[in-house]
Amino acid sequence: MRIEELLLRTMKSDQNPNEGKIDYYMQRAGFMKKVNGMLAYTTAGILLKNRIEGMIVDILKKESFSRIGFSGVNSLLELEKTFHSYNDFYVGSYKDIPLKLYVKDQISYREENHASLWRGNAQNIIGFSMLGVETDSDELMVRIFRELGIEAVEDQKGYYYPSISGQEEYCAEDESGDHSARKEKDGSPESLMMVKTPGTKTIHELCLFLEAKPSDILKTMLLTDGVKTYAVVLEGHREMDLARVNRILGLKEDALKVLPSSQVTALTGAEVGFAGPMNLRVDQILVDEGVSKKKAYIAGANQTDYHYKGMKYGRDFSGDFYSVTRREKTSKGWLLGEIRNQPEKIRVQAQDGGFDYHPLSVAYLNVDRLILAVAETSMDEIGLNLSKETTCFDAVVALVDPREERGITAGSELYEILSDSGLRVLLDDRKDRMGSKFSDYDLLGIPKRVIVGRDGNFDVKDRNGSVTKTDKNNIVEIIRS
């Protein structure tokens, strides 16, 4: 490829206060631009994007994933549902599994202006699903991040890239834990009974009235996205993380709102403060992982001035367990991808004629953010020190003087030799100063530079300035080394 084909427009260092940030760098290097509030990839950016996507797809193909395509998928929630519907439709018997599928798509991810390249209205993703597979989804995600050279932190099936510019919170250590098997010795009654609790609408009031602890009480938070209603059930001493609930449900940021009091009364038949999870008519109930499956709790009775004692999960109410609470010790970063295990299993005819029910795992990777994470991870004082797997070009053939015939001929021959060997090579015959050219190579992360002089002689330099003397017979080996 000739460098003119990149339509390259790099920017000189101008002591911009954002110069050390990857957003600014990617625009300065000419990989990305912000045009009318939209993220645009340049030719160089598309090459880098293709490299990252290609590495991910190669890993998926080695694991026997097959590519399919969806139309009209606009959100993460729709992606999950479509994967579930496709698997449910395609798989009829045990002969159809294991089934591994992946898609490349662009979905609506955020609803905000492009204050940062990390956030945008639409994001490129690679999504994949696994049905009837022994391979651990977590292992596959970790392998992908390792191949890309990214040290991602896992938190509740979400994978985060630690960054001081990050605007999303994660916890490196799970503080919630699974308390479903703990033994409770608090004297809570095992049988369900309704008690009158006049005017006790808050956790504090209820604790005083019933002489209980906040951890003995279940509070039920009612939410809506304007279309559906949801309930979040958690112990009384914990606080709901609304952003986390949005992410779990696959909704756009800030889509969920607290259900207005008038709608709470219409839904539960009670005033605000007496809602509970039993016989609650909402579209989905999310139960915090801190809620014990063994313990008998106090909870709202969906009747004004009344609560239940002895309410237990499984017997009196149900829901899908997730980590929905805020943690005390959190870090900032960017969510790169996550794994979502579908609550509804896929029915598959078994070999003996009966039916088995298989869980479906759906995951996605945010390609746009992966590119930024790869770039930021490889940044040093002069540019991008990309790995041979992620760099767009293995080498550049640069002519010192593109007006000299011997230099032009030698440069063209070297370019052909390297290209024919399977290396990714860029030919630079611009009439610019060599210092300016080297700066562009550093910005683009090109590791090797074949410098062709006016007389046709050449040297190979690496990005640190080390020079290797060689000839045409050994140049491919030198570049590969």
The reply to whether 182 falls in a domain is no
Contact 314, 282 (CB under 8 A): no
Q: What are phi and psi of 223, to 5 degrees?
A: -130, 160
Judgement on whether residues 239 and 357 belong to the same structural domain of the protein = no
The reply to whether 383 falls in a domain is no
pLDDT confidence of residue 366: 95
Q: Which residue has the higher pLDDT, 18 or 391?
A: 391
Average pLDDT over residues 259-277: 94
Judgement on whether residues 100 and 206 belong to the same structural domain of the protein = no
The reply to whether 389 falls in a domain is no
pLDDT confidence of residue 37: 66
- Supply the pTM of this predicted model: 0.81
Length of the chain: 481
User: What's the DSSP call for residue 2?
Assistant: B
Domain that holds residue 403: 395-480
Judgement on whether residues 129 and 7 belong to the same structural domain of the protein = yes
- Report the domain count for the chain: 3
Instruction: Provide the CATH number for the domain around residue 18.
Output: 3.30.930.10
220 forms beta bridges with 233
Whole-number Å distance between alpha carbons of 65 and 67: 7
Of 303, 322, 341, the domain-final residue: 322
Give the torsion through C-alpha atoms of 32, 34, 36, 38, to 10 deg: 70
Taking CA atoms, 300 is separated from 8, 31, 65, 139, 290, in Å, by: 63, 55, 47, 41, 18
Judgement on whether residues 303 and 345 belong to the same structural domain of the protein = no
- The tens digit of pLDDT for each residue in 310-361 reads 999 999 999 999 889 887 788 889 999 999 888 788 999 998 989 999 999 9
Instruction: Provide the CATH number for the domain around residue 286.
Output: 3.90.960.10
3-state secondary structure of 467: strand
The reply to whether 184 falls in a domain is no
Judgement on whether residues 84 and 164 belong to the same structural domain of the protein = yes
Whole-number Å distance between alpha carbons of 161 and 365: 12
The reply to whether 148 falls in a domain is yes
Judgement on whether residues 149 and 270 belong to the same structural domain of the protein = no
Banded pLDDT at 77 (limits 50, 70, 90): confident
Judgement on whether residues 10 and 143 belong to the same structural domain of the protein = yes
Judgement on whether residues 12 and 136 belong to the same structural domain of the protein = yes
Judgement on whether residues 247 and 340 belong to the same structural domain of the protein = no
Judgement on whether residues 37 and 146 belong to the same structural domain of the protein = yes
pLDDT confidence of residue 472: 86
Judgement on whether residues 263 and 313 belong to the same structural domain of the protein = yes
Banded pLDDT at 152 (limits 50, 70, 90): very high
Mutual orientation of helices 43-62 and 367-378 as an angle, nearest 10°?
Answer: 100
